[in-house]
Amino acid sequence: MIKMMRVDHRLLHGQVAFSWTSTLSANCILIADDETAVNELKKTTMKLAKPNGVKLVIKSIKDSIEALNKGVTDKYKLFIVVSSIEDANKIIRGYPSIKNLNIGSTLPREDKTNISKTIVIDKKEKNILKGLIGDGVNINIQMVPSDTKLNVKNLI
């Protein structure tokens, strides 16, 4: 069962590893990220940040979609973390059962516009979000579980 899918350019860190995982009662974190899947140093860093008693799986976007579709993850209370809105879109398009998306952090760049205090997006990401919302995906911004959810539909 997928507990939540989150966009966070930092992937696994304190907020994700501890606040979200415990709030969701997740027992498995799936890091779906092409770069991390092939980078041993990044993998090691992610493994060090993982909470005790929680399984950590690191896969490419393609392999993550395959695992979700095959039902390999069904036995877990799964928390999926991706680094970008584009990657979230790929997974949702490849596994349309995901109907909720949390955005916690996006990578700041000069060509991006703030839609909240902590979230910046460019035109392509805005179009992706509009498309997902149009397809019935509920998208919220929430840094930590104690923050109020901001509905992206009202911000773009």
Using the 8-state DSSP alphabet, how is residue 144 labeled? Answer: S
Q: How confident is the model at residue 14 (pLDDT cuts 50, 70, 90)?
A: confident
Q: What is the pLDDT of residue 49?
A: 86
Count: domains in the chain: 1
Q: What is the pLDDT of residues 86-136, one digit of tens each?
A: 999 999 999 999 999 999 989 888 889 888 888 999 999 999 999 999 999
Alpha helices by DSSP H, 57-122? 61-70, 85-94
Rounded distance, CA 103 to CA 83, Å?
Answer: 10
Average pLDDT over residues 55-71: 96
Radius of gyration of the chain (CA): 15
Q: What is the pLDDT of residue 107?
A: 85
Contacts for 18-24 with beta carbons within 8 Å, 24 or more apart? Answer: 18/51, 19/144, 19/145, 20/79, 20/144, 20/145, 21/51, 21/54, 21/79, 22/51, 23/145, 24/77, 24/79
Q: Residue 66 to residues 6, 27, 129: CA-CA distances in angstroms?
A: 19, 20, 23
Host domain of residue 77: 2-154
Q: What SS3 class is residue 74?
A: coil
Q: What is the pLDDT of residues 141-151, one digit of tens each?
A: 998 888 889 89
Using the 8-state DSSP alphabet, how is residue 93 labeled? Answer: H
CATH label of the domain that carries residue 148: 3.40.35.10
Average pLDDT over residues 46-75: 93
Q: What is the pLDDT of residue 111?
A: 86
Q: Who contacts 110 (Cβ-Cβ below 8 Å, separation ≥6)?
A: none
